[in-house]
Amino acid sequence: MLRLARRLRLFTVCAIASLVMLGGCATTGTGDPRDPFEPMNRAIYSFNDGVDKVVMKPLAQTYQAVFPAVVRTGISNVFSNINDIVVALNNLLQGKIGPAFSDISRVMINTTVGILGVMDIASDLGIEKNDEDFGQTLGYWGVGDGPYLVLPFLGPKNIRDTAGMIVDWETDPTSYIDPTRDRNAIQGFRLVTRRAELLSASKVLEVAALDEYEFLRDAYLQRRRNLIYDGNPPREKDEGADAGQPAARGVNLRKPLELETSVIISGQPTPAEEELLLKAQTAAGNEVSRPYFRVWVSTPQP
C-alpha cells in the first residue's frame, strides 16, 4: 500500500508538471524570458492565493493562536531536524563532505540530546544549519532552471526544481510512515506549521509589493540561484542596460528562516519603484542605501 501511494504521488506530480508545460505551449510570454508561461502562471497563482486565503491562512492563524510560541518552536524544530536528513544526502551528492558531516552531526545531536529534535541543541553549539535539496543538486551539476512554473497547490517552481521535489519527497523520512492516513496527517500538519511561520512575511508582501506575482517570482528565482551557488552567485550581465532597456531588477531572500527580505533595484528606479521603496522602508524602519536602493525588511518570528 505504501509503495502504491508513493507511485500515485509520483504520477500526480509528473502529470501536473506535464499539464503545466503543455498548457504553457498555448500561451505567450509577456516579456520576461524566464517566465514564458506567465498568463497561465498568473491564473494558477490567483487560484493558489484563493486557496491560501480560504484554507491555509485561517488554519495557520488558528494554529498560531492555539499553540504558544515555545510549543510552535519545538514543532518547527522537529520538522527541521527531519529535513536535515534530506539536506545531508544532497550535500553528499554534491561532494560537499564537510557540510554533509555537519548535517549528520546536527541530526544525531538534536535527535538524542535535543529530544527527537524538539530542541535545536546543534545550533546552540555553533553547528551551522545548511539548506540543500535535489533541485539544488541538479543545479550544482549544471542542470539549467528551465521555465518558471506556478504549480497548483505547490506554488513557485521551475522544471528542474519540480523534478527535484519528487526526489526530495521520496527521500523524506515522513514519506515512509505507515498507515497512509498518519503520513498524510503529519505532512498536512507540516504545511500548516510552515504557513504559520510565513504569516509575518505575507504582511510585508502586502505592504511592499506593487505586483505580488512578479515580486514572488523574482524572489523565488533569485533565491534559488543564490542557494545553488551557496550565497555567492556569479554576477549576471546587465543586458538590459546595454540594450537601452531598464536595468535588471530582483528580490533576494537572504535568510528565509529569519524572514529577512532584501529588495534590490539596480539603476534609476521608476516612480512606482520609488513608492515601493518608501513603503518598504516605512514598514521596516530600516535603511535605503544608494545607488542600489537596497531595503532590508526584517520580520523576526514570534
Assess whether 64 and 132 both reside in one domain: yes
Assess whether 153 and 247 both reside in one domain: no
Contacts within 8 Å (CB) and 24+ apart, 251-256:
251/215, 251/218, 251/219, 251/222, 252/219, 252/222, 252/223, 252/226, 253/219, 253/222, 253/223, 254/226, 256/131, 256/223
Assess whether 106 and 186 both reside in one domain: yes
Last residue of a domain, one of 168, 197, 226: 197
Assess whether 192 and 215 both reside in one domain: no
β-partners of residue 150 are 156
Amino acid making up residue 12: T
- Can you give the pLDDT at residue 234? 84
Assess whether 216 and 289 both reside in one domain: yes
Query: pLDDT in tens for each of the 302 residues of the chain?
Result: 444 445 445 545 554 545 444 444 444 445 789 999 999 999 999 999 999 999 999 999 999 999 999 999 999 999 999 999 999 999 999 999 999 999 999 999 999 999 999 999 999 999 999 999 999 999 999 999 999 999 999 999 999 999 999 999 999 999 999 999 999 999 999 999 999 988 877 666 666 657 889 988 998 999 999 999 988 888 765 433 333 333 334 443 333 333 334 444 444 455 555 555 555 555 544 443 333 333 333 333 34
Amino acid making up residue 161: D
Assess whether 178 and 209 both reside in one domain: no
Total number of domains constituting the chain: 2
Q: How far apart are CA 24 and CA 132, in angstroms?
A: 29
- The secondary structure of the chain in percent helix, strand, coil, rounded to multiples of 5, reads 60, 10, 30
Distances (CA, A) of 18 to 12, 41, 136, 162, 165: 10, 14, 21, 11, 15
Q: How far apart are CA 174 and CA 189, in angstroms?
A: 12
- Can you give the pLDDT at residue 252? 39
Cell, residue 193? 506549521
Alpha carbon 77 to its chain centroid, in Å, reads 17
Last residue of a domain, one of 197, 212, 231: 197
Assess whether 163 and 24 both reside in one domain: yes
- Can you give the pLDDT at residue 168? 95
Assess whether 120 and 250 both reside in one domain: no
CA-atom Rg of the chain in angstroms = 20
Assess whether 6 and 142 both reside in one domain: yes
Assess whether 151 and 282 both reside in one domain: no
- Can you give the pLDDT at residue 32? 87
Assess whether 229 and 109 both reside in one domain: no
CA-wise closest residue to 294 among 259, 231, 249: 249
Assess whether 46 and 189 both reside in one domain: yes
Cell, residue 39? 498568463
**Coil/strand/helix, residue 26:** coil
Last residue of a domain, one of 147, 163, 197: 197
Residue in this structure with the C-alpha cell 505532512, named with its chain if needed: 187
**Domain span including residue 219:** 201-298
- Can you give the pLDDT at residue 199? 85
Mention every residue, 6+ apart, whose C-beta is less than 8 A from residue 144. Answer: 160
Specify the pTM.
0.71
